[in-house]
Structure 1
Amino acid sequence: MDFENYYEISLVADFINAHNFSRVALQFPDELLKDSRKVVSALRQELHRLLQNSDESRATAKLYVMADTTYGSCCVDEVGAAHVKADCVIHYGHSCLSPTTTIPAFCVFGKAPLKASNCAESLYNYGVKSGKPVLVLFGLEYAHGMPDIKEALNVEAMRFHDSNSGFQIHFANVTNSVITPSASMKLENQHLMLNGEQDNNEDSSQKIDTKFRLGGLGWSLPEGHRMEDYLLFWIGLDNSAFTNFILTFNSCEIVRYDAIEGCLKTDVSQQAKILKRRYYLVEKAKDANMVGILVGTLGVAGYLDMIHQMTELVTRAGKKAYTFLMGKPNPAKLANFPECDVFIYVSCAQTALLDSKEFLAPIITPFEALIAFNRGSQWTGAYSMEFQDVIASQPAEVEDETESRFSFFQGGYVEDFKLQEGKEEKDAVLSLVNVTEKALLLQNKDSELLSRRDAKSGAEFFAARSYQGLEIHSSDSFPEPFLIGRTGKASGYEDEQSK
């Protein structure tokens, strides 16, 4: 491996030098941390060389290595960088390219090995056979190999020039390796529009291309073309980035070229099952009474707005909402809050999907929460994992002749009565329903307990639980069998005799 080329030593040094950064944080994922010392040494030498060749007299930038990020390693760790008062972050490895809030970042994707000729041959043969135009998408670590694949495709086309009539191919491009802080998220600039985004052009006679952005890639389709018309050819691993594309473009035909095995994977049905699982979780979330909002990022721009919006959404649906800040969630952590019926995970698109089969309660995304808790919302099949898509996208409440209310005896919202004759009939029906439900509450002790529980504040409720954690405050409060066993520290139990 060409070390300096893989870690883009010259480009990173030029970026630091051009912006006069004095304190730089280097963020490594776990698998690249072993090379951090070599990277720091090479960067220092290159920065020193650049300063010697310039007329400026200033100190070399201080470099700080960051590891063990609080959340997903694909996001820029702004919290860790703030601890050393860094001016910027150099992010190494796989990146979701989510916009930051306070600090700029330069992303080094790396250069994963890729057999360009073999990939081009698989792409050409399958593309010609499908008869559809092809859109090539790829993991960012394979961006370096796209020029070689394009050149190899020309060779393939020359070999089979008689069979390539009408064969069209489009390549996505990396939007930018530099992340600029964004204090406010603008819908049209920061996320993919599922129906495409058209450039405004005063000349109506000129064709308008439809532009898309997702997962750090950007591409455009000619006027009148839809994503469903294309064969999506993914180059890379079966990872979170690939899952993001599968769910977002679930109506498209998708194949994957495995760069490690060097072969084409045409069966992506296993990944497609994820969408069915997500739909099941949405339906299950509709029955929740208490909802936990998990903070999954402290750096992606707009995350605070998303948390506030989710809180308002849950409260408006007549449910309790609690916000949890606990780092990377796992079954053991969330098991401390068994009262929560469902959790909403606010994070970047590539860490948003948590396999909640091992958790006590399902974990959904903000997009799924919008469908679950907005009465009248239905899943059309469109899907988005970018929580920025949800910001400012909640529909206004629509007044319908069908009135929705929460029914305790049916265990959810019901829409089985219509109000057609004005306010008087509406008030009469609502009064009757209110009286009926109050009577049922008085007769049902379980419902009465539920009502008392919901009346408590979050702190009072959690403090009143019979289970308080692993700390044992008094041995008198437990039955005798609980105390069977050794006591003291493992380094020296009380009943052990010193030798």
Structure 2
Amino acid sequence: MELESNYEIARTASFILSRNFTRVALQFPDELLKDSTRVARALRDKLRSSEDNVSDKDIGLYVMADTTYGSCCVDEVGASHINADCVIHYGHTCLSPTSTLPALFVLGKAPIGVSDCAENLYNYVLTSGKPVMVLFGLEYAHAIPDIKVAVSDFEFSRSNGSTSRLDLHFGDVTCSVMDPSENSKTSNGNIELDDGFTANQGSGNLIGTRYSIGGLSWVLPEGHYIQEYLLYWVGADNAAFANVVLTFNACEIVRYDAAENVLVTDVSLQRRILKRRYYLVEKAKDANIIGILVGTLGVAGYLHMIHQMKELITRAGKKAYTLVMGRPNPAKLANFPECDVFIYVSCPQTALLDSKEFLAPVITPFEAMLAFSRGSQWTGAYVMEFQNLMTSFPVEVRDQLEEARFSFLQGGYVEDYVSEETSEDNGDGTLALVKATEKALRVVDSDPQSVIKGTAKSGAEYFAAHRSYHGLDIRSNNSLPEPFLIGRTGKASGYEDEKKQAGEFNESANDK
């Protein structure tokens, strides 16, 4: 019964049957993979025994693990390998919007001492002198209704039955089901997200400012601002908490550690991260070659953000290269020593890489906007979700970005000048793509003595010209490298030397 409750077997089966899905991907993080076979078996039994299952087709369940990028995001690429109709995502999630596949999120039920948490919260509200906003890791969402009741009981019992009212507010889980086909779209094809704009709440007439972060959302009354609130975080010191600390760095923040049943009031270590990020922004301003790291292939809008980063870098007179390599690490990025800095386009909970061990800094799209936009200054505000940056560029930059359009036929962004030159290309688009690449490489070179200025026709040629080590170069008397053959050439089924030997053997046999 505990397995069925924690993994919400009945709810998951209802979701699959109500939408007539026949191929379902079950995505588990590494720490929950041990339960995957039992969950799949219980879910299969529930689907077969359900009265709602009137279809004769057997529903295929496919377990996914070892995601290419962060396990908190829906792995749409992995699901597409088995032509899945939907993804059931288990465990910790950032609730980043999906691009193509519908998803159901099973958040899990982490253990927590409800009474102890409620008592700490009640005491802190009384002594803080500020309104309190309770935010939490999504794995504790199941306990929030009980915590609310427990706090009300403390309030009633300790006020001798009077009806005093604590200035206490709670965030709400944004959603547990995500379907891109049902979401409203913006003009650039990205899912419309709440990001601090004025909105109505519920059926009442309350007008205020809506905030959202890490799958939580809340509305503050008109005239109230989040800086005025104390944030009470329920959960672990993880990426979700770091996201909150950076985004709301002007707020006083405390954390209730549910695993240790203790209230942590010192979050200075997390705040030091902000100083480190500011240092990386200043260092990135001196970069000439920037690598854009693709950190997700499923979060809605990632292609648009990559394109905006390219435009931003090019207008700053620098060179940009897009790199797809899965989860980055120092060894992988060391293969690109030409890059002075890397921009990591990913979900907000995997965007912060501790790049102390890397040869070059790794920054976020928001930090890149500060580093490469002329006249930009850091006001202290910090944005983790790159969807919120889509409308944060200067007006002149946004207007120029609208010149590019996304082509689903070509699988990428198509510039206007490409279509103008396709008439010279015999209809296959190859020449236009080559010319577009050449135009993209025509960037002002900061080094007038550069030996490759105006000669690089591709990213590979540019990297090759800048490398001091080119692999195995056989040199004689300090002369230029000469072709030198080591090993065999040809196909494994018959190398060239083997064919030659076979020919000589046949000739000798005929002579006999």
TM-score above 0.5, yes or no: yes
The separation in 1 between residues aligned to 2:315 and 2:152, in whole angstroms, is 57
Matched residue, 2:349: 350
Matched residue, 2:27: 27
Matched residue, 2:81: 83
1:91-149 residue CA offsets vs partner (Å, 9 max, x unmatched): 00100111111100001111000000000000010111001111110000000001111
1:371 aligns with 2:373: no
1:355-406 residue CA offsets vs partner (Å, 9 max, x unmatched): 11110111111111111111001111111100111113311349xxxxxxxx
- CA distance 1:186–1:95, shift in 2 (3 Å): farther
Is the CA contact 2:156–2:163 (under 8 Å) kept in the aligned structure 1? no
Q: 1:197 deviation in Å?
A: 2.5
1:315 aligns with 2:317: no
Q: 1:57 deviation in Å?
A: 3.2
The separation in 1 between residues aligned to 2:21 and 2:167, in whole angstroms, is 45
Q: How does 1:272-351 map to 2 (within 5 A)?
A: 272-351=271-350
- CA distance 1:447–1:57, shift in 2 (3 Å): closer
- CA distance 1:325–1:180, shift in 2 (3 Å): same
What is the SS of the residue equivalent to 1:452? coil
What is the SS of the residue equivalent to 1:255? strand
- CA distance 1:90–1:221, shift in 2 (3 Å): same
Matched residue, 1:193: 195
The separation in 2 between residues aligned to 1:186 and 1:136, in whole angstroms, is 34
Q: Which amino acid aligns with 2:67?
A: T
The separation in 2 between residues aligned to 1:218 and 1:133, in whole angstroms, is 17
Q: 1:58 deviation in Å?
A: 2.2
Is the CA contact 1:346–1:352 (under 8 Å) kept in the aligned structure 2? yes
The separation in 1 between residues aligned to 2:380 and 2:274, in whole angstroms, is 9
- CA distance 1:7–1:473, shift in 2 (3 Å): farther
The separation in 2 between residues aligned to 1:312 and 1:451, in whole angstroms, is 25
The structure 2 residue matched to 1:98, chosen from 96, 112, 124, is: 96
Q: Which amino acid aligns with 1:22?
A: T
Is the CA contact 1:71–1:328 (under 8 Å) kept in the aligned structure 2? yes
The structure 2 residue matched to 1:68, chosen from 52, 58, 66, is: 66
The separation in 2 between residues aligned to 1:312 and 1:138, in whole angstroms, is 37
Matched residue, 2:268: 269
Q: How does 1:11-410 map to 2 (within 5 A)?
A: 11-50=11-50, 53-54=51-52, 56-161=54-159, 165=164, 167-181=166-180, 184=185, 190-194=192-196, 196-199=197-200, 206-397=205-396
Is the CA contact 2:257–2:263 (under 8 Å) kept in the aligned structure 1? yes
The separation in 1 between residues aligned to 2:396 and 2:375, in whole angstroms, is 9
- CA distance 1:183–1:333, shift in 2 (3 Å): farther
Q: 1:451 deviation in Å?
A: 6.1
The separation in 2 between residues aligned to 1:362 and 1:324, in whole angstroms, is 15
Q: 1:193 deviation in Å?
A: 2.9
1:22-59 residue CA offsets vs partner (Å, 9 max, x unmatched): 00000000000011100110000000011xx2472322
Q: Which amino acid aligns with 1:220?
A: V
Q: 1:463 deviation in Å?
A: 2.5
Q: Which moved more, 1:84-93 or 1:271-280?
A: 271-280
The separation in 2 between residues aligned to 1:125 and 1:9, in whole angstroms, is 38
Q: How does 1:456-471 map to 2 (within 5 A)?
A: 456=456, 457-464=458-465, 465-468=467-470
Is the CA contact 1:197–1:211 (under 8 Å) kept in the aligned structure 2? yes
Is the CA contact 1:105–1:179 (under 8 Å) kept in the aligned structure 2? yes
Q: 1:213 deviation in Å?
A: 1.5
1:132-177 residue CA offsets vs partner (Å, 9 max, x unmatched): 1111100000000011111111221123216995521111111111
1:51-92 residue CA offsets vs partner (Å, 9 max, x unmatched): xx2472322310001011000000000000000000000000
Q: 1:180 deviation in Å?
A: 1.5
Is the CA contact 2:194–2:211 (under 8 Å) kept in the aligned structure 1? yes
The separation in 2 between residues aligned to 1:323 and 1:335, in whole angstroms, is 15
Is the CA contact 2:191–2:300 (under 8 Å) kept in the aligned structure 1? no
Is the CA contact 1:345–1:352 (under 8 Å) kept in the aligned structure 2? yes
The separation in 1 between residues aligned to 2:175 and 2:201, in whole angstroms, is 22
Q: Which amino acid aligns with 1:10?
A: A
Is the CA contact 1:104–1:178 (under 8 Å) kept in the aligned structure 2? yes
Q: Which amino acid aligns with 1:388?
A: Q
- CA distance 1:282–1:304, shift in 2 (3 Å): same
Is the CA contact 2:344–2:363 (under 8 Å) kept in the aligned structure 1? yes
Is the CA contact 2:231–2:251 (under 8 Å) kept in the aligned structure 1? yes
Is the CA contact 1:183–1:302 (under 8 Å) kept in the aligned structure 2? no
The separation in 2 between residues aligned to 1:136 and 1:5, in whole angstroms, is 25
- CA distance 1:459–1:10, shift in 2 (3 Å): same
Q: How does 1:371-450 map to 2 (within 5 A)?
A: 371-397=370-396, 447-450=447-450
What is the SS of the residue equivalent to 2:300? coil
Q: Which amino acid aligns with 1:41?
A: R
- CA distance 1:39–1:342, shift in 2 (3 Å): same
What is the SS of the residue equivalent to 2:395? coil
Identity of aligned residues (%): 62
Is the CA contact 1:26–1:64 (under 8 Å) kept in the aligned structure 2? yes
Is the CA contact 1:120–1:152 (under 8 Å) kept in the aligned structure 2? yes
1:454-477 residue CA offsets vs partner (Å, 9 max, x unmatched): 7524211222323246xx576989
TM-score (norm 1): 0.80
The separation in 2 between residues aligned to 1:199 and 1:271, in whole angstroms, is 33
Q: 1:218 deviation in Å?
A: 1.1
- CA distance 1:363–1:138, shift in 2 (3 Å): same
TM-score (norm 2): 0.78
Matched residue, 1:10: 10
RMSD: 2.6
